[in-house]
Amino acid sequence: MNLLIINPNQFGYNNATYYYCSYLKENYYIAYLCWDHKLPKIDLPGVKIVYVNRRGNMIARSLRFLSYVSKELRNDPAIVFIKYFKIVSLALRFLKPTHNYVLDIRTGSVHKNSIIRRLQDARLRFEARFFKNVTVISESLAAKLGISHKAHILPLGADVISSKNKIFTELNLLYVGTLHNRNIDITIHGFKKFYEEFKNQISITYTIIGSGPNNEENSLRDFVVKCGISDFVKITGQIPHNQLAPYFDRSNIGISYVPLTDYYDVQPVTKTFEYLLSGMPVVATNTSENRKVINQGNGVLIGDTAEDFYTGLKTILKNRLFFDSVKIRNNSMEYTWYNIVDKNLKIYLDQVCGN
């Protein structure tokens, strides 16, 4: 059967759909249509990737995108799986109304302005009304958006990026994720205090991988230099997912940090699962989603202040010899993308086709 996946993210730079393609391509002929953001191209044998250039103004770009989608719809896909992006998702829904459409919602609004956030969530809720089939990342997000009655929960997953078992004779911290609105500078403050107190007891490093739309990585680099810890804290910028393994191999403590707000509270954090599946204990902010997976055997839950981060690292240091990398990984296998796709998404898509 034909499956058309539509995503504004360039192929390979959105983990969920990358793994959907990886584990569905034996059952479906997959076409993946996305914007060309001029990032390095990532190929996946068995998947047709269609890039749409972003030349011109917003109207010209959007019309071009719709034109490419219309062309792909002529291949009569069994399912059109759309990762939500504002307004365009709804326009796509009506290109050929008789198709089986699935709207996939991975996040609610995380805008810092509460009024804008409510308006954006209201728009998402309105657009979701026009889709019979809707997948949502978590029950709590579905409830927040008021669509629990129609939502199929398609949870976040991860894959084993590093199979190297960790030892904890030193602490090599790793943060991977967006730098936009995440207040990662707070973790650097906490790390600086921890480093200055314990640098003579144990080797300590912190690697931060990611970028943001406002050049956040350069701002963080300047901040690290200002703090005088540039020899121990590295800001790499964005790195493609398929090139992360060496960083996960070298690191042994994962940092899953998001500010403690009502809108982040309902969002599972991808890297929490990727760290666990790579055998790393995790320093995670105390969100309702992180509380479902983090315990004394695989990490520590913290608040979102610099002092909280410092205290969390002290707990990791104290407990480091009790962590079992193999056990952490084995106890987290239910969160693999393979299991999410095989035991959830594949069954759901079969049901949609049946309908």
The string of pLDDT tens digits covering residues 19-64 is 999 999 999 999 999 999 998 899 999 999 999 999 999 889 989 9
User: How many percent of the chain have pLDDT more than 90?
Assistant: 79
Summarised one tens digit per residue, pLDDT across range 217-233 is 999 999 999 999 999 99
Phi, psi of 233 (to 5 degrees): -120, 120
Q: Which of 48, 24, 52 is nearest to 38 (CA)?
A: 52
User: If pLDDT is split at 50, 70 and 90, which confidence band does 331 have?
Assistant: very high
- Residue with tokens 């034109």, as numbered in its chain: 67
- Structure-derived torsion over alpha carbons of residues 208, 209, 211, 215, reported in degrees to the nearest 10: 40
Quick: pLDDT tens for 260-316.
998 888 888 888 999 999 999 999 999 999 999 999 999 999 999 999 999 999 999
- Could you give the C-alpha distances from 9 to 38, 49, 52, 85, 265, in angstroms and in order? 11, 12, 11, 10, 24
pLDDT of residue 269: 84
Q: How many Cα atoms sit within 13 Å of 309 on the Cβ side?
A: 27
Give the pLDDT of residue 97: 84
User: Whole-angstrom Cα distance, residue 152 to residue 133?
Assistant: 8
Considering only 178-187, 239-248, 279-288, which range has the smallest mean pLDDT?
A: 239-248
pLDDT at 91: 84
Neighbours of 53 (CB within 10 A): 13
* 20 in Cβ contact with 341 (< 8 Å): yes
CATH pick for 171-334 out of 2.60.40.3080, 3.40.50.2000, 3.90.1150.180, 3.30.70.2740? 3.40.50.2000
- Is residue 15 very low, low, confident or very high in pLDDT (cuts 50, 70, 90)? confident
Q: What is the dihedral of CA 123, 139, 9, 63, to 10 degrees?
A: -30
Assigned fold of 2-157+336-354 = Rossmann fold (3.40.50)
Summarize the confidence of residues 115-134 as an average pLDDT.
93
pLDDT at 108: 87
Q: Which residues of 204-222 are buried (b: 16+ CB within 10 A; e: fewer)?
A: bbbbbbbbbeeebbeebbe
Mean pLDDT across 177-186? 92
Give yes or no for residue 9 having a pLDDT over 70.
yes
Give the DSSP per-residue string, 98-165: TS-EEEEE------SSHHHHHHHHHHHHHHHTT-SEEEES-HHHHHHHT-TTTEEE----B-----PP
The answer to whether residue 89 scores a pLDDT higher than 90 is: no
Residues of the chain with CATH 3.40.50.2000: 2-157+336-354, 171-334
Does the pLDDT value for residue 355 go beyond 80? Answer: no
pLDDT surpassing 80 at residue 241: no
Q: Give the pLDDT score at 13.
A: 84
